Structure 1
Amino acid sequence: MPAATVSKKRKNVKETGVSSSKRRVVAEENNGADVMADIVQLEEQIAESRKHYNNIAKLISMLNVDNGASDPNLAVAVSLCRVFSRLIAGGDLTETNGAAENEKLIAAWLKERCREYQKALSAILREGDASAQLTALTLCMRLVNERATHMPHEDTQVWLSGIFKNIIEAVVQAPEAEALRTEFLEKFAKQYEDVQYYTFLQIAEIAESTTAPKTLDTLITILSAIDSAPSQDHEYKTFYVKNSKKNKKLTSINSHKKRAQDAWLSVLRNPSITQSQRKTLLRIMVHNIEPWFSRPELLMDFLTDSYNVGGATSLLALSGLFYLIQEKNLDYPQFYRKLYSLLDASLLHSKHRSRFFRLMNTFLASTHLPSSLIASFIKRLARLALSAPPTAIVAIVPFIYNLLRNHPTCTFMLHREVRDAEFKALLDAEGMNDPYDWDEPDPTRTNAIESSLWEIQSLQHHYHPNVAAIARIISEQFTKLFYNLEDFLDYTYQGMVQAELGTEPKPMKRIPVIEYHIPKRIFTDRMLEEDGGVDTAPGSLVRGLWDFA
Structure 2
Amino acid sequence: MPQPIKRKRDHSSTEDFKSVRQKIRTLEANLSDKSNLNNIVELFNHVKNDNAQIVFAAMHALNRVFLSFLLKGELQKPKVAEETSAKGKVTLWLRDQYTNFLQYVKSLLSNDEPGLQLPALTILMNNMKAESEYFMSTKGTYHFANNLYGPIVKEIISTENLNDHLRKEFLEKYLNIYDDLRHYFFKDTAEIIEQSLRTDETVRKQKTSMKSKKAKISNTTNSSGKLELIAKNLFSILESIRTMPTEPSEIDEFWTVNPSKYEPQSKKTNSEEDDVLGDEGLLSESEVEEEKEQAKKDGTRKKKMHPLLQLKVHKRSFTDCWLQLFKLPLTEEMYKKILLILHKRILPHLSEPKLLMDFLTDSYNVGGAVSLLALQSLFTLIIDHNL
Which residue number corresponds to residue 265 of structure 1?
323
Q: Note the alpha carbon deviations across 1:66-117, whole angstroms, 9 max, x for none.
A: xx89786110001011111111111000024375722221221111001111
Residues of 2 paired with 1:309 and 1:235: CA distance? 38
% same residue: 29
Residues of 1 paired with 2:112 and 2:330: CA distance? 29
Which residue number corresponds to residue 374 of structure 1?
none
Task: Give how far 1:119 is off.
Answer: 1.6
Residues of 1 paired with 2:96 and 2:242: CA distance? 37
Task: Give how far 1:244 is off.
Answer: 4.4
Which residue number corresponds to residue 36 of structure 1?
21
Which residue number corresponds to residue 230 of structure 2?
215
Indicate how the Cα distance of structure 1 residues 44 and 36 shifts in structure 2: closer, same or farther if over 3 A, else same: same
* One-letter amino acid of the structure 2 residue matched with residue 261 of structure 1: T
Secondary structure in 1 aligned to 2:324? Answer: helix
* One-letter amino acid of the structure 2 residue matched with residue 296 of structure 1: P
Task: Give how far 1:173 is off.
Answer: 2.4
Residues of 2 paired with 1:165 and 1:85: CA distance? 20
Indicate how the Cα distance of structure 1 residues 155 and 55 shifts in structure 2: closer, same or farther if over 3 A, else same: farther
One of 52, 57, 71 as aligned partner of 1:89: 71
Give the TM-score, by structure 2 length: 0.71
Task: Give how far 1:218 is off.
Answer: 1.6
Residues of 1 paired with 2:51 and 2:373: CA distance? 44
Residues of 2 paired with 1:308 and 1:317: CA distance? 9
Task: Give how far 1:276 is off.
Answer: 2.9
Which residue number corresponds to residue 238 of structure 1?
253
Residues of 2 paired with 1:314 and 1:31: CA distance? 61
Contact map agreement 1:72 1:124 (CA 8 A) in 2: no
Q: Unaligned 5+ residue runs, structure 1?
A: 1-18, 331-549
Structure whose CA Rg is larger: 1
Residues of 1 paired with 2:14 and 2:365: CA distance? 67
Contact map agreement 1:147 1:155 (CA 8 A) in 2: no
Matches within 5 A, 1:273-312: 273-307=330-364, 309-312=366-369
Give the TM-score, by structure 1 length: 0.51
Residues of 2 paired with 1:309 and 1:124: CA distance? 38
- Is 1:325 matched up with 2:375? no
One of 162, 182, 187 as aligned partner of 2:173: 187
Q: Note the alpha carbon deviations across 1:363-394, whole angstroms, 9 max, x for none.
A: xxxxxxxxxxxxxxxxxxxxxxxxxxxxxxxx
Contact map agreement 1:93 1:110 (CA 8 A) in 2: yes
Secondary structure in 1 aligned to 2:160? Answer: coil
Which residue number corresponds to residue 62 of structure 1?
46
Secondary structure in 1 aligned to 2:177? Answer: coil
Which residue number corresponds to residue 158 of structure 1?
145
Indicate how the Cα distance of structure 1 residues 20 and 204 shifts in structure 2: closer, same or farther if over 3 A, else same: closer
Q: Kindly report the root-mean-square deviation, in angstroms, between the aligned alpha carbons of the 2 structures.
A: 2.7
Contact map agreement 1:45 1:52 (CA 8 A) in 2: yes
- Is 1:177 matched up with 2:177? no
Matches within 5 A, 1:380-529: none
Residues of 2 paired with 1:158 and 1:132: CA distance? 23
* One-letter amino acid of the structure 2 residue matched with residue 165 of structure 1: G
Residues of 1 paired with 2:23 and 2:257: CA distance? 35
Residues of 1 paired with 2:230 and 2:173: CA distance? 22
Indicate how the Cα distance of structure 1 residues 52 and 297 shifts in structure 2: closer, same or farther if over 3 A, else same: same
Indicate how the Cα distance of structure 1 residues 256 and 20 shifts in structure 2: closer, same or farther if over 3 A, else same: closer
Indicate how the Cα distance of structure 1 residues 229 and 141 shifts in structure 2: closer, same or farther if over 3 A, else same: closer
Indicate how the Cα distance of structure 1 residues 111 and 189 shifts in structure 2: closer, same or farther if over 3 A, else same: same
Residues of 1 paired with 2:106 and 2:66: CA distance? 16
Residues of 2 paired with 1:86 and 1:155: CA distance? 22
Which residue number corresponds to residue 255 of structure 1?
313
Contact map agreement 1:70 1:124 (CA 8 A) in 2: no
* One-letter amino acid of the structure 2 residue matched with residue 134 of structure 1: L
Residues of 1 paired with 2:236 and 2:381: CA distance? 25
Residues of 2 paired with 1:230 and 1:75: CA distance? 39
Which residue number corresponds to residue 113 of structure 2?
129
Q: Unaligned 5+ residue runs, structure 2?
A: 1-5, 198-223, 265-305
Task: Give how far 1:316 is off.
Answer: 0.7
Residues of 2 paired with 1:282 and 1:213: CA distance? 18
Secondary structure in 1 aligned to 2:250? Answer: coil
Residues of 2 paired with 1:306 and 1:175: CA distance? 26
Q: Note the alpha carbon deviations across 1:482-525, whole angstroms, 9 max, x for none.
A: xxxxxxxxxxxxxxxxxxxxxxxxxxxxxxxxxxxxxxxxxxxx
Task: Give how far 1:52 is off.
Answer: 1.4
Residues of 1 paired with 2:185 and 2:235: CA distance? 13
Secondary structure in 2 aligned to 1:176? Answer: coil
Residues of 1 paired with 2:8 and 2:385: CA distance? 76
Residues of 2 paired with 1:57 and 1:305: CA distance? 53
* One-letter amino acid of the structure 2 residue matched with residue 42 of structure 1: L
- Is 1:199 matched up with 2:185? yes
Task: Give how far 1:279 is off.
Answer: 2.2
Task: Give how far 1:177 is off.
Answer: 2.4
Residues of 2 paired with 1:177 and 1:69: CA distance? 22
Indicate how the Cα distance of structure 1 residues 269 and 29 shifts in structure 2: closer, same or farther if over 3 A, else same: closer
- Is 1:102 matched up with 2:86? yes
Secondary structure in 2 aligned to 1:151? Answer: helix
Secondary structure in 2 aligned to 1:141? Answer: helix
Residues of 2 paired with 1:86 and 1:237: CA distance? 29
Which structure is higher in helix share? Answer: 2
Higher relative contact order structure (alpha carbons within 8 Å, sequence separation ≥ 6): 2
Task: Give how far 1:215 is off.
Answer: 2.3
Residues of 2 paired with 1:35 and 1:269: CA distance? 49
One of 145, 148, 153 as aligned partner of 1:168: 153
Indicate how the Cα distance of structure 1 residues 320 and 197 shifts in structure 2: closer, same or farther if over 3 A, else same: same
